[in-house]
Amino acid sequence: MKLHNLILTAGLVIISQFSLQAQEPRVALVLSGGGAKGFAHIGVLKVLEEEGLPISIIVGNSIGSIIGGVAATGYSAKEIELMAKSQNWDELLFDYVSRKYKSDNLKTAEQRYFLELPLNKDTEELELPSGVVSGQNVLNLFCKFMANVPDSVDFRKLPISFACIGTNLETGQEEVLMHGFLPKAVLASMAIPGMFSPVNFNGLYLVDGGIVNNYPSDVAQMMGADIIIGVDLQTKPLAKEQLNSADKIFGQIASFTDLEKGKCNRAIVDLNIKPNMEGYNMSSFTQEAVDTLIIRGEKAARQKITEIRELISKHNLEYQAVDRKYVEPKKYRIEQISLDNKLKIKEPYILDLSNLEVNKLYSASELQNSMYKLYGEGNFAMVYPSLIEKKDKYQLNIHTKLKQSSMLKIGFGANSADGVNLNLNYSFQDFRKLINLFTIDFKASYNPRVIITAETHNYKLPGIGLKIDAQHTEQGLFKLGKEKGKYKIFNANADIYTYKRFKNSSSILQLGLRYDFDSSNFSTENGTIIKEQSDRTQTSRFSAYSSFHFDSFDKYFLPKKGISFHAEFSINEVINSTLKSIPIVYANFEIVAPINNTLAFTGEIYHRAVYRNDYPGGLANYASDKYSAFNNYSLMYAGQYGLSFTDKIATCSKIGLRLKIANKHFLTPQVSILTDMDNWGEMNNADTKWLIGLNYSRMTILGPIDLSFNMPTNDEHLVFQGGIGFKF
């Protein structure tokens, strides 16, 4: 009997313990939207973790869905802080992709154009894009950090139960997102209208949830929360004197959209934490803002530390370790790759561009880089991965959204050679077509130019292209520092070529045949100016050439590091002339080597040699600044007025030290040397001129500013050259 009572008592104790556990209140954390202000959420999370507060539910909106979604998968507040501080937010939010992943076409376009407008494929009429960016980068970042999460999951069954809010663009209704592909749900919740394109998620067309419910404590209550802690990023309305930028105006409008619901939702929270947002707004995505706002979030939470501890004590809340099964880094053995069949994409095409192979191990970062390679080709508006586990092996699903095939690009600028220039581009790009790239580039300026390019590329074979390039140039012609007159030249060439880009590198090998025609008002022979004449001198020639190009610069303007090397060897045959088989070698090398965070070494070398004693003026070497060149083999000499012909072997070198000032401004003291001679045996007696100069550069939203002041040693005049905006 005593044994029976003992067993019964023990059973009641066990049952009561389970009952107590089942009755332990569920704590929900509500993270409101607010753009960059949401970095304060991380600081709040750090304090809650330190206090051992068990969080059972997270509901987030916009930036709150990002922080909350990552936390719900099992990441600690410290890990999330490191993630936030390690990102380049400008590049992340504006879909910047490293140049090493970009096609040559995109590399060229970013130097000439700043605005891209789609053309309707049916009407060929211009359209405004649905957003400034598609969200390619942020989505792939989420895919990287959430790679272990199943591609279709109930968010309530994550290590911390989770939900986020989206706005249905078709109905205007609030959508609570609790199931599906987690990275895309988070993107939908933060898709600020106008900035991000709307997101298709589970058949819904969604934008930022802050429009309908920016402080979703009611959703936390619906999910069974007994205690609700909210982090409120709402600020007081700005006065008219403060509404002086588009982001502030948009933020103000957004804050008005859910005023009534916001008041109701604030009334049902048990503890409201309100960080100080003074001096920051939704677009404050700077490193300084990230650091400061995290600290302010911590400070706001510590000001509520008494209330936090009272909640823990009153409800006997005990911290439980969060499951980290979705967080631990791993490699994925890919046994199968699945594509969007509705786009009729051939698997070998994707494998060739992305360098992916089946039955190989890949990390989440490596898969992310493969997506960047596909995106960098310019065919897709969005490319992202998801994984399906199959007994320690994985099926990789590559999701794509095609970019509009026809585009109009616009750029403009002004420089010391062209005056004002307007750059226009029409491009058609579709990898499924036989001619998968067709572009027309036009520069309207004092020295107009047009380039027409058509290329076809089969993944199994090298690409084939045709390019026609025509330009009229009128520049001052100088010899020994004195102007000889205005050099007027029209030159055109037609180029048929084949090319091969090497995998896992930025190297391209090209072979081609070229026809050149030029017509000028000066008679020249072997680089020597004979006279100006009323009748134009015309020259036609064929050439066969091979070239090699390597480019590892991280940016086209003001790169932080990298090298660029281009070399070309050609054999030229002049038509209707006894001048045959004229070999020419051209090469240029550029380097930027960082010394520390503010100082970098810069260097450039241009070399060209004509290996015949007699050759027409159209093949002569010439020096110019970078704005005055009329073909692709100029010797870039910063202190050159207009154009100046040189001897048949010529080399121009420039070295400098680039100093970063106040983060955006760059000053570069530099020295340039130009050497030319008729043959290698004259090296000791070669003509040499050199200069010292100072260059100022910075990047703006409307393009580069690049200004140089140079003092040639053989000329008492200071030479100014420069440009503002995009250069053709």
Q: Hey, which residues are catalytic here?
A: 62, 208
Residue 300 is encoded by which pair of tokens? Answer: 């706001």
Beta bridge partners of 548: 509, 567
**Nearest C-alpha neighbor of 53 from the set 273, 288, 283, 360:** 273
State the Cα–Cα distance between residues 62 and 30, nearest whole angstrom: 12
Beta bridge partners of 667: 659, 696
Kindly list the distances between the CA atom of residue 357 and the CA atoms of 336, 352, 360, 505, in Å, as whole numbers in the listed order: 9, 9, 6, 17
What length is written for the chain? 728
- Give the strand pairing for 665-677 and 649-661: antiparallel
Residue 88 is encoded by which pair of tokens? Answer: 């380049």
Kindly list the distances between the CA atom of residue 119 and the CA atoms of 193, 406, 477, in Å, as whole numbers in the listed order: 21, 5, 43
In sequence order, which residues have a C-beta less than 8 Å from that of residue 362 and are 6 or more positions away? Answer: 331, 332, 334, 356, 370
Residue 183 is encoded by which pair of tokens? Answer: 């990275």
State the Cα–Cα distance between residues 687 and 79, nearest whole angstrom: 61
- Strand, coil or helix: 292: helix
State the Cα–Cα distance between residues 586 and 566, nearest whole angstrom: 8
In sequence order, which residues have a C-beta less than 8 Å from that of residue 250 and are 6 or more positions away? Answer: 192, 194, 282
Residue 555 is encoded by which pair of tokens? Answer: 């940016």
**Nearest C-alpha neighbor of 626 from the set 706, 718, 506:** 706
Helices 40-50, 77-86: axis angle to 10 degrees equals 160
Task: Annotate 458-495 with DSSP letters as a single string.
Answer: -TTS-EEEEEEEEEEEEEEEEETTEEEEEEEEEEEEEE
In sequence order, which residues have a C-beta less than 8 Å from that of residue 630 and are 6 or more positions away? Answer: 447, 471, 473, 475, 489, 491, 624, 643
State the Cα–Cα distance between residues 720 and 716, nearest whole angstrom: 13
Q: Are 383 and 377 in contact (CB under 8 A)?
A: no
CA angle 405/411/414 to nearest 5° reads 165
Beta bridge partners of 103: none
What is the DSSP-derived secondary structure letter of residue 101? G
The kind and range of the H/E element at 338 are strand 332-339
What is the DSSP-derived secondary structure letter of residue 342? G
**Nearest C-alpha neighbor of 505 from the set 101, 97, 96, 98:** 101
State the Cα–Cα distance between residues 31 and 231, nearest whole angstrom: 5
Q: Are 189 and 72 in contact (CB under 8 A)?
A: no
**Nearest C-alpha neighbor of 417 from the set 674, 671, 699, 706:** 706
